[in-house]
Amino acid sequence: MQIAMIVAGVFFCAGAVAALYRVIRGPSLLDRVIASDVFVVTIMCVLATEMAFSSHTETLPVLLVLGAFAFVGSVSFARFMAKQDQT
């Protein structure tokens, strides 16, 4: 159990760091949007993992709200990009 938690944590961290790297480096705005989306989903997965390991459900609404914010953010960015580039 302990080992599994550590392994999962390492994978989650690596994924989040890679997403952050893409947010910082990303050549275009769309890369950053995608990467921040992945970052938010990784956070959701980590929260859910914590819930699964300690058998409580207190942060479930947080998952829902995070998902909603990620969706609204990405879509508004994508729409803004599409408008801007129709010159």
Partner 1 sequence: MTGEGIREIITVGLVLVSSLMCFAAGVGLMRFPDVLSRLHAATKPQILGLMAVTAAIAVNNATIGTFALLTAIIIFQALTAPITAHMVGRAAYRSDHLRRDLLIQDELSVSVDRVEQGNVATAPGGTPPEGPTQDDRPSGEQYS
Smallest separation (angstroms) from partner 1 to the CB of 40: 9
Q: How far apart (Å, rounded) are the C-alpha atoms in residues 55 and 49?
A: 10
The single residue listed with the structure tokens 């699964």 is 52
CA distances from 55 to 18, 51, 87 (A): 29, 6, 53
Residues at the interface with partner 1 (CB under 8 A):
1, 4, 7-9, 11-12, 14-19, 21-22, 28, 30-31, 33-35, 37-38, 41-42, 44-45, 48-49, 51-53, 55-57, 60-61, 63-64, 67-68, 70-71, 74-75, 77-79, 81-82, 85-87
